Chains A and B, each alone.
Chain A
Amino acid sequence: MKEQRDTTPVLDIDGLDVRLPEDRAGRPILDGIGLRVRAGESVGLVGESGSGKSVACRSVLGLLPAGARTSGRVRVGGRDVLAMNRTELAALRARQVAMVYQDPRASVNPLRRVGDFLTEGLRASGTPAATATARALELLDAVGIRDPRGALRRRPHEFSGGMLQRVVIAAALAAEPALIVADEPTTALDVTTQAEIVALLGRLRAERGTGLLFVTHDLELAASVCDRVYVMYAGRIVETRGTDELFDRPRHPYTAGLLACTPSIAAGAPAPRPIPGRPVSLAESPPGCAFAARCAHAVPRCSEEKPVLTRHGDGLAACHRAAEGITL
């Protein structure tokens, strides 16, 4: 049994396509996404706005854009989310996967008490109210909220953004999920609070052995949180590898571009270089590599043939020229 737990990833996305009806998009929102998170592992999903990372992480909960058609598999604990019925989805969301959203102010109902928010998920899956409240107190303490008992009775507007995000994280932990999906959980917070929230997520994950899928546009932040990073561009995974190797030797020009445009305060560091051009919109469907138009290393083949993910170094990259050893 234990053996099984260790080998089955908590999240295994395989060949996931998400398409909108033809009149609403020229290309799939997600195109053959593959992604794995093992128990206790912290995995980053990085990309610009519109790259499909939010759609990808919502698909883990079976939340898909209205009218979207899907193919492929999204397995959580070995079971395919896309094939689940309503009851199974409710159980999945209440027990197995928890989501932490970007803006805690927007993700907590401003009119209800914090205690209500914390226990809602548990009560929805049949936990008695008293047990749920006891659990909520324990969790508030674990995420570093002083006076948990008083906090339960307060309302969201009486908390600062950082404190409220702690409450949201506590709520995510309530059902002891196997996987936490965090969609830019620190973007709406100020820098010092960001660091605290990142440290908190890291500590809780280590203590509880929970898998973490950390979605962000910030490669540096992903590096500080994650063991492994997936880089997305225009609905596809373009590169994935261990965090250290990704930083030392990126194989995809887009990853290199993301690294180069991150400002650094180190002495003698080069000024940040933005990636020229703009991301591919949903209406456009370039025949070859979607990044070719912005890529400094593009050759004619790049705009004719879509590169597939192949092994380079310890990870995978989808670039025709990855094997050539170009210094990016």
Chain B
Amino acid sequence: MTRYLAGRLLGLVAVLFVTSVVVFGALHLAPGDPVTFLLHGRPATPEAVAALRTQHHLDDPLAVQYAKWLGGVLRGDFGSSAQFHQDVAGLIASRLPGTALLVAYAALLVALIGVGSGILAALRPGPVDRTVLIGTGVATATPSFVTAIALVSLFSVQLGWFPGPGGTPAGLSQQLYHLTLPAFALALTFAGLLARVTRSAMLDELGREHVEVARARGVAERTVVRRHVLRNALGPVVTVGGTMLAGLLISTSIVETAFDVPGLGSLLVASVTAQDFAVVQAITLLSVAAFVLVNLAVDLLAPLIDPRLSLHGEGSS
């Protein structure tokens, strides 16, 4: 178990290293010059430009820049944001809670709506099943920014139930209230996918002989569904759900921008536009780390869900 964990964590480090190289390289290959942004469009003398470039180490060879940056990261120093003139670590720390709350809220919605409608569709063939299939089809096919516009137009502008984009709510309940529409916009696509995964996993299990055996033993239908169908369908649902958690984190950039939520996603979008390398690097690495960690958590959960799976691939004979 310890060896397995150590191996997985080593893998995480390797993935992060590769990611850092790719992101660093890609950003420097991208067109545009950070100096243009640093000058805020003001005319500047060539001397001033040269001074700025030296200050931000932009004239060093790429490898040297990378090494310097990586050394800083290993000491916990992600550099400073050219855009906000602020320490990147501090900047991220201030934006993280907003995103974390949004992702948690959306994840809860995905779990409730996705798993709930998937179960419903599997247990009620006919009109209910068809309705869920159509609904999930629409939800899956609609991009989150379109959902965002639709939600704002309906629930904020027309009905006035929820606040529109912007605003700085105080207190958790107010924050959650403000995050309701963004969370739905973020969640619907994923909920649609999870509903379909849940439905097919449930249908798969409903057709199994041990389910008929349980019925043939006089076990109540509700108990059969809970203990034999839902319980056994959990494997694929958790695996896909885990991947979705990481996907939610990445999709926040669109929704946070659409709803003007001060989080990591909107920070990432602003930083890409401003060619604020240090911030983009840090957020990307963080996202990749979150993705790998979530996958690790899912893999650790799998043997608990299905005891036939073992972490070491040895099986228990």
Contact = CB atoms under 8 A, between A and B. Distances in A.
Nearest to B228: A109
A44 interface: no
A99 interface: yes
B218 A125 contact: yes
Most B CB contacts (10 A, CB to CB) among A61, A91, A94, A120 go to A120
B51 interface: no
B216 interface: yes
Given A112-B227, A155-B307, A157-B308, A107 B219 contact: no
Contact of B219 (A61, A103, A108, A121): A121
Interface residues of B, number: 22
A124 B213 contact: no
B217 A93 contact: yes
A63 B216 contact: yes
Interface residues of A, number: 29
Contacts of A89: 218
Contact of B218 (A94, A101, A103, A111): A94
Contacts of A313: none
Nearest to B212: A63
A312 to B, nearest CB: 36
Interface in A80-123: 89-95, 98-99, 101, 103, 106-112, 120-121
B252 to A, nearest CB: 35
B210 A107 contact: yes
Nearest to B316: A158
B209 A124 contact: no
A90 B220 contact: yes
B307 A120 contact: no
A158 B228 CA distance: 19
A223 B63 CA distance: 83
A220 B208 CA distance: 30
A95 B307 contact: no
B209 A120 contact: no
Given A121-B218, A125-B218, A101 B209 contact: yes
A121 B217 contact: yes
B209 A107 contact: yes
Given A124-B223, A155-B307, A158-B316, A108 B213 contact: yes
Contacts of A61: 216
Contacts of B208: 106
A121 B231 CA distance: 18
A106 B210 contact: yes
Given A109-B228, A155-B307, A158-B316, A124 B218 contact: yes
A89 B220 CA distance: 10
| Chief secondary structure at chain A's binding surface | helix
Nearest to B306: A111
A270 B208 CA distance: 42
Interface string B192-229: 00000000000000001110111111111001000110
A108 B210 contact: yes
A69 B255 CA distance: 54
Nearest to A155: B307
Interface in B225-249: 227-228, 231-232
A107 B213 contact: yes
A155 to B, nearest CB: 5
Interface in B271-305: 305
Contacts of A106: 208-210
Most B CB contacts (10 A, CB to CB) among A106, A107, A125 go to A107
A198 B195 CA distance: 46
Most A CB contacts (10 A, CB to CB) among B210, B220, B227 go to B210
A217 to B, nearest CB: 18
B215 A63 contact: yes
A109 B210 contact: yes
Contacts of B231: 109, 111-112
A98 B218 CA distance: 10
Interface in A211-249: none
A101 to B, nearest CB: 6
B221 to A, nearest CB: 9
A157 B214 CA distance: 18
Contacts of B215: 63, 93
Contacts of B306: 110-111
Contacts of B213: 99, 101, 107-108
Interface of A: 58, 61, 63, 89-95, 98-99, 101, 103, 106-112, 120-121, 124-125, 155, 157-158, 171
Given A101-B209, A110-B232, A124-B217, 14 more contacts: A58-B216, A89-B218, A93-B216, A98-B217, A99-B216, A106-B209, A107-B210, A109-B214, A109-B232, A120-B217, A124-B220, A124-B223, A155-B307, A171-B217
The 8 closest A-B pairs by CB, nearest first: A94-B218, A93-B218, A121-B217, A106-B209, A90-B218, A107-B213, A124-B219, A109-B210
25 contacts: A63-B212, A89-B218, A90-B218, A90-B220, A91-B218, A92-B218, A94-B217, A95-B218, A101-B209, A106-B209, A109-B210, A109-B227, A109-B231, A109-B232, A110-B210, A110-B306, A111-B308, A112-B227, A120-B214, A120-B219, A121-B218, A124-B217, A155-B307, A155-B308, A157-B308
